[in-house]
Amino acid sequence: MQKNRRVYRFAAFKGAFDMLPLSLAVLPWGVLFGSLAVQRGFTWLESQAFSAIVFGGAVQIVAIELIADNASLFTILFSALVITSRHFLYGLTLRERIKGHSLRWRLSLGFLLTDELFALSGHRRAYKSRLRLYYALGAGGSFYLAWNIWTFIGIVAGASLPDLTELGLDFAIAATFIALVVPSIKSLSVLVTVIVAGVASVTFSIWQLELGLIFSGLLAMLAGYSVNLWERSR
């Protein structure tokens, strides 16, 4: 029993170590959110609770801005749904791997399932054994802890320093997703999807189209799916 505990503990530490580069990569992002929250009128407790409960970088920043602009509840909820809808796809992708585990494991890993944890889930045996469950728990748990620490630093900095958005910390959002996406480009269909998404999102942004991000995502998926069908038919 003691030996098993040491093995599981090592697996969790290994997951945390493998996640460390991504945990550090979102430091500017977490600091940006924490500073934005307090500068938009949220209390320290409310700002920290946002990261502790919601735990979703992009949706947190968007929600903070919408709430500060007195947007309607429908607008806030719909925006949150659109931004986090990719997690539904993550869940469907990993469902077959974790459906045989207990509800406690499924709920825990479901809450910790971020873009970063999903990026570490590509191994064909991920989540299959108890050892790999502890690995995922260590990776996701360490990222959760880091995100909340960065948020706290941002809260402190935002309460005592000028507007941190002027420092360009929001670029961390784009940089993080670029780092996650590039290693996954292993086929023509994925490459086309990425290119179409990038070109369309920039074009719609220049046109100031409100639903441009959604449209660019749909176009990219359609283009990637079409290329995938073409590849299979060859």
Q: Can you tell me the distance from the alpha carbon of 219 to that of 135, in angstroms, rounded to the nearest whole number?
A: 36
How far apart, in Å, are the Cα atoms of 171 and each of 25, 26, 59, 177?
A: 11, 10, 16, 10
Domain match, 58 and 94 both = yes
Structure tokens at 67: 């709430």
132 shares its domain with 38: yes
Residue 82: partners with Cβ closer than 8 Å, 6 or more residues away: 213, 214
Indicate if 65 and 94 belong to the same structural domain.
yes
Give the pTM. 0.77
Other C-beta atoms lying within 10 Å of the C-beta of residue 132: 17
Residue 1's pLDDT band, with cuts at 50, 70 and 90, is: low
| 84 vs 234, residue with greater confidence | 84
pLDDT at 173: 63
Of 1, 3, 2, 4, give the one whose Cα is nearest residue 130.
Answer: 4
Range with the lowest mean pLDDT among 69-78, 127-136, 149-158? 69-78
Q: Is pLDDT above 70 for 193?
A: yes
Do 112 and 203 lie in a common domain? no
DSSP letter, residue 164: G
pLDDT band (50, 70, 90) for residue 71:
confident
* Structure confidence at residue 167 (pLDDT): 61
pLDDT above 90 for 210: no
Task: Find the domain containing 50 and state its range.
Answer: 2-167
Percent with pLDDT over 90 in the chain: 29
Tokens representing 111 are 């809450």
Question: CA nearest 152: which of 39, 55, 33, 59?
Answer: 33
**CB atoms inside a 10 Å sphere around CB 119:** 16
Distance CA 19, CA 57 (A): 16
How many Cβ atoms sit within 10 Å of the Cβ of residue 74?
Answer: 8
Sign of the Cα torsion 55, 59, 61, 67 reads negative
Judge whether 130 lies within some domain. yes
Please, are residues 58 and 173 in contact by the beta-carbon 8 Å criterion? yes
Residues 134-177: tens digit of each pLDDT: 999 999 999 999 999 999 998 998 777 666 656 665 566 666 66
Please tell me whether residues 55 and 99 are part of one structural domain.
Answer: yes
Average pLDDT, the chain: 84
| Same domain (yes/no): 132, 201 | no
User: In which band, very low, low, confident or very high, does the pLDDT at 195 lie, cut at 50, 70 and 90?
Assistant: very high
User: Is there a single domain that holds both residue 33 and residue 148?
Assistant: yes
The pLDDT assigned to 74 comes to 83
